[in-house]
A = this chain, B = another copy of it.
Amino acid sequence: MLIIMHKDATADQIAHVLEKIHSTGAAEGFVSRGELHTVIGVVGDPGQVAELPIAAMAGVERVARVSKPFKLVAHTGHDATSTIPVATTSIGPETFTIIAGPCAVESEEQTLAAAHAAKDAGAHLLRGGAYKPRTSPYSFQGLEEEGLRILDLARTETGLPIVTEVMDSRDVEKVAAVADMLQIGTRNMSNFTLLKEVSLAGKPILLKRGMTATIEEWLMAAEHIAKNGNLKIVLCERGIRTFETATRNTLDISSIPVIREESHLPVIIDPSHAAGRKSLVAPLSLAAVAIGADGVMIDVHCEPEKALADGPQALIPQELKELAGDIRALADHVGRRY
């Protein structure tokens, strides 16, 4: 940590800051006097140092962090990207994973049809929401426990492992009893009590980026999970909120190589929710392969015009099959097993 003092900070103020640092017993401060500013470098345990309430002290202009605030999800000691096993499959740097399924579980018939479409297209996991966070309280809110039963049935029929969202700490046990992988949705990325509960459940976790979260905040959310003992985390970029309205969100594809530099966690892309319309799903999926993402998550629906949620972004089975073929060819080109 670097502490930049006001250009008119007094010697007393500087001494007071140093005393504060040394009083922790865990850090030391080194003073550099510049022409305009005095700068204090702080060395010591980053956790304790970051907690020091220095910025509010008299004479302090600004505090600049030097070290990254995350530890368990950072690269140190994990030079390669991790591979996260999920039931019978795994997500990591050797392969390219396709997760497909309906946005919402609406009925047994619709879910099984979509599950078979996912299976036929060669998907590795089945997605589908039993609990749905919806902007309007008047929209379809999900089938909840009945939805979990249907997902269980879809797994039995297709053999595909299940990833599904959990929205409330009280539902974690129930959802984890069925799901092979627990999804944290974009609206809950900073729901820290929920992050703790899903960590403790021990299942692999798919952590979507908050629509307004910086990459660093996203990795800190992963750190919340990791700190509670569970490192089986896969990140999912799904677009951020910007001024552009041509797409529902702006897919921040640069986050993939940034994450690679910062963290050992695998990362996939959700082109369906990023774009909000199906015509962009194929080009964004191919870009995901080329840039080095570890997978994609795609909405599929046999009758999008009957979908209770997000119909305009769902592919129909034939489209998914064709896209999966193109993804496979490109994954092969870049040296990943499909």
Contacts and interface: CB of A to CB of B under 8 A. Distances in A.
Interface of A: 2, 4, 20, 30, 32, 34-37, 39, 41-44, 46-47, 50-51, 53-58, 64, 66-67, 69, 133-141, 167-170, 187-188, 190-194, 210-212, 214-217, 220, 223-224, 227-228, 240-247, 250-258, 261, 274-275, 279-280, 283-284, 286-292, 304-308, 311-312, 314, 329-330, 333
A207 to B, nearest CB: 14
Contact of A243 (B4, B141, B214): B214
Contacts of A306: 53
Given A37-B66, A254-B284, A258-B246, A304 B53 contact: yes
Tallying the copies of this chain within the complex gives 4
A286 B280 contact: no
Given A191-B191, A241-B243, A223 B53 contact: no
B257 A252 contact: no
Nearest to A221: B135
Given A167-B191, A240-B250, 7 more contacts: A36-B46, A53-B306, A53-B307, A56-B304, A187-B190, A287-B288, A287-B291
A170 to B, nearest CB: 6
A241 to B, nearest CB: 5
Given A137-B224, A170-B169, A305-B57, A247 B241 contact: no
6 contacts: A30-B32, A37-B67, A47-B138, A51-B139, A51-B140, A56-B305
B245 A214 contact: yes
Contact of A136 (B42, B220, B243, B252): B220
A210 B246 CA distance: 15
From A46, A64, A215, name the one whose CB has the most chain B CB atoms within 10 angstroms: A64
Given A37-B67, A133-B192, A258-B247, A253 B284 contact: yes
Nearest to A31: B32
Contacts of A35: 43-44
B308 A53 contact: yes
A56 B242 contact: no
Nearest 10 CB-CB pairings of A with B? A212-B212, A56-B311, A290-B290, A187-B190, A56-B304, A287-B291, A168-B193, A287-B287, A34-B43, A137-B227
Contacts of A137: 192, 220, 223-224, 227-228
B304 A280 contact: no
A280 B254 contact: yes
A246 B216 contact: yes
Nearest to A304: B56
Contacts of A215: 244, 246
A287 B252 CA distance: 12
Contact of A330 (B169, B210, B211, B333): B333
